[in-house]
Structure 1
């Protein structure tokens, strides 16, 4: 048989095998999305202040349209550009892209080229002792030069009849999709963390202002009571009670200052910066959440929440791994071919008469592996079942998060409104108590009690304002917004 005929038949055979591989079996289960019954509406959305319009949802909006405070927008923008958790998530996506490339490469033949070369010079004495080889040449001194070389080309291929490599590639691609959704989940979480930390920071700022104002007011009371005590118009106990009020306020100031600096450091870490001061002076930072936030339908969470999408992508990858494990039960065909040429001199290295071409094929069928293949198959099925439960739990967790956020939107507003009334009543009670004390109608204990109640009510009001502002963050995150 001529070399050209061998080559043509080899190409035909490889082409036929490629067609058979493409049309081969793709064993393994077909993916179907697990069914998780979703309620017709979110719990908490039946309140009159909540919109269940399926045409729109707060989660579909860009974060800049939800958080409109200029300071907060600047912080989120900086965090999205510099945060290291987000950079790590992006690198993991790039890593998995290369893993897909590695897995896909198993479907294709491998081709290698190599060569050898030999050169040696034998002294004349050795040439006479061992005889002159026909491949050597002698010079005037009697020395003999030996040369030899070869070049070879080899190829190997394992046709993917049962879809082993295709399933592994499918699993790698689904894992890549899961990493992309994980990156989006990190982005959503980052927006939530920056907004939450910023609102905490502004809450501490306002509480510090209240503490300083209270300190100044109580210092005036101490000064006045000192004069009355020195003049004999008030007992020493009144002065001590006034000092008690003052020191209660002054002791809160360093605590709040400590918390402010530590919160600034936490926010700087989110921004990818070293610890340091930040600008946070917006007087309208703790604005209430919208009274009519659209939430859409529960079924929309499956497409919007990145953690749910990530869980489903991981489930798809596990489903593909079941198919890859099942393919291990079937025979694996390996084909290899090699050809080369050689000569005793570079001038005849490519002489057609020196070519050597051969091909090999092997077929291996697992018979006994100590239960390894069966164990691997059962393991992948159990892993898939685990991820089914993980996916279903992710959906229920999303429904719970939205429901909790909706309840918080409604209840924290009521709490803040009642706290407003409490502060108003406490202020008036303190004013009246001071007038009664100055008129000699009551003891200073009444001033102590009412003033303490006012201070606590003012701090609690700021906390209630913070909680109300945070409900928007919680609802937006629960609906899967912020990563678009």
Structure 2
């Protein structure tokens, strides 16, 4: 982990100067932000504090070839990521626009005039005239240069604000990319869970139909009542009716996954499988202070705060005089042949100073606006940091508890299945109460569906933990496929 992390420093609520510098962040009070950076996560396993989570291609840890392919396709073709990249192009162009004010402006001019003067006007001016007056030409070629002295740093601050805004766009692209790949993972897990539930429901339906066949035989033999038969028929119908909603979930999530990889749902297929085939990677959260370096949304909020600070500097510098330098040089002649002769050359130099006196409080209001935005982005940065810590804690708790619940729920399913098998065997021998059989069926069906849901929640908790830790994003740059 890097020893020094970039963070906002020297920020005053009144809008004084702020510089971004490296500082050592440990489990102590951060004076500029008023935040306490914890030394470790409360829900983290003991003994692995210094081990950092892998940040590149974390999805490979689930050991699903299809999931890996979907992740790579999303990074290449997802339209939200493409839109975020287009915003980077705009931000870079805005940097060029803002930086133009720091360079001189040079323009070339060329003109040719032909003028006719009447005889009276020509004679009064001493120009030789004929009976119909005189006609003459004038040719001019020149260069004009102007430059605004950035004496108070207004243009420089504007450029720096634009550069930080460009950084915001790049971090936003990384945020969108991370959110997209996590959404792909969660959607894929929902598809697997729906397939599992469909298989479980169909298996349970087959078991319920077997019991229904036995009860019908007993009903014909007079050893089962109409109530017993109707209850089992209701259970079979309930299991059969549970399949269409699961197929809706499967189809809708498949369509959602197609959109994430920018494909038409009609041409998109997912092989899927089972949640039991997915391996949950071992995740170690590292140190809390790493989040200020690893998470792109925190870096995005930091860059936004820096941009607002430079905007305050530019708004404050607007109160001071503006110094404009202008120079013109060129050649002017009434004859094209002598246009570039020594006598045709001319130049002018000028300097101007503009000082705002009264503008209806425009500049003052613009400064107040810039300070308000700076304070807003400061609070947003503080919230981003706190949210990062909270996201990791919530994901750690969810992953730990759902892992434990899965292990316990497996025991529930095992015991319920054994009870149902015994009840079915005794039913065939006519030695068990039908109410007991019905109860064991319902217990088994509920336990199996709960196990599928718990496995889905565990997988989603794992992907949420990678997202909370900034996985899939490298501070030195984005993934190679996005370059």
Q: Give the equivalent residue in structure 1 for 2:40.
A: 41
Q: Give the equivalent residue in structure 2 for 1:58.
A: 53
For 2:459 and 2:119, how far apart are their aligned partners in 1?
A: 101
Q: Relative to structure 1, is the Cα distance of residues 222 and 144 closer, same or farther in structure 2, using a 3 angstrom cutoff? A: farther
Q: Give the equivalent residue in structure 2 for 1:116.
A: 111
> How big is the shift at 1:441?
3.8
SS class of match (1:149): strand
Matched, 1:340 2:335: no
Q: Give the equivalent residue in structure 2 for 1:263.
A: 253
For 2:91 and 2:280, how far apart are their aligned partners in 1?
A: 39
Q: Relative to structure 1, is the Cα distance of residues 346 and 442 closer, same or farther in structure 2, using a 3 angstrom cutoff? A: same
Aligned length in residues: 446
Matches within 5 A, 1:195-234: 195-234=185-224
Superimposed CA distance per residue, residues 269-288 of structure 1 (whole angstroms, 9 cap, x where no aligned partner) = 11011113422334466535
| Greater Rg over alpha carbons, structure | 1
Matched, 1:466 2:456: yes
Q: Give the equivalent residue in structure 2 for 1:10.
A: none
> How big is the shift at 1:169?
0.6
Matches within 5 A, 1:438-457: 438-457=428-447
Q: TM-score, normalised by structure 2?
A: 0.85
Matches within 5 A, 1:19-418: 29-32=17-20, 34-35=32-33, 36-45=35-44, 47-48=45-46, 51-54=47-50, 56-119=51-114, 147-276=137-266, 277-283=268-274, 287=278, 289-290=280-281, 292-418=282-408
The answer as to whether partners of 2:201 and 2:243 remain within 8 angstroms in 1 is yes
SS class of match (1:336): strand
Q: Relative to structure 1, is the Cα distance of residues 450 and 382 closer, same or farther in structure 2, using a 3 angstrom cutoff? A: same
> How big is the shift at 1:478?
0.6
The answer as to whether partners of 2:55 and 2:473 remain within 8 angstroms in 1 is no
The answer as to whether partners of 1:289 and 1:472 remain within 8 angstroms in 2 is yes
Q: Relative to structure 1, is the Cα distance of residues 295 and 339 closer, same or farther in structure 2, using a 3 angstrom cutoff? A: same
**Unaligned ranges ≥5, structure 1:** 1-26
For 1:456 and 1:306, how far apart are their aligned partners in 2?
A: 41
> How big is the shift at 1:438?
3.3
For 2:245 and 2:383, how far apart are their aligned partners in 1?
A: 41
SS class of match (1:99): helix
For 2:432 and 2:59, how far apart are their aligned partners in 1?
A: 55
The answer as to whether partners of 1:44 and 1:403 remain within 8 angstroms in 2 is yes
The answer as to whether partners of 2:167 and 2:300 remain within 8 angstroms in 1 is yes
